[in-house]
Amino acid sequence: MQQALRTKLLIGILAALTVIGGVLAHELQVSKETAASTAKTAAERDKAEQIDRDDKAAIQKIREHNAQKATTAPNH
């Protein structure tokens, strides 16, 4: 009788550990997906910031070009 109880207890512990292992595996997968998503978002943000810097530089060049044209244009 004691052996049967011990066996049931060990089976219960094994079942609990199996469930915990499944939960941990799921959490690891979610964490991995979150890290990948975060990295992708950071890369997209960096790209957007670079585009913004490029746009600002292009606007500055246009302003400088227009200012230069205005100073060299003949006055009427």
The string of DSSP codes covering 10-23 is HHHHHHHHHHHHHH
- DSSP letter string, 49-65: HHHHHHHHHHHHHHHHH
- Return d(Cα 54, Cα 51) in angstroms, integer: 5
Mean pLDDT value across residues 38-56:
98
Percent of the chain, pLDDT > 90? 88
Judged against a pLDDT cut of 90, whether residue 54 lies above it is answered with yes
Task: Give the Cα-Cα-Cα angle 34, 38, 40 (nearest 5 degrees).
Answer: 115
pTM for the model: 0.58
Ramachandran angles phi, psi of 74, nearest 5°: -70, 140
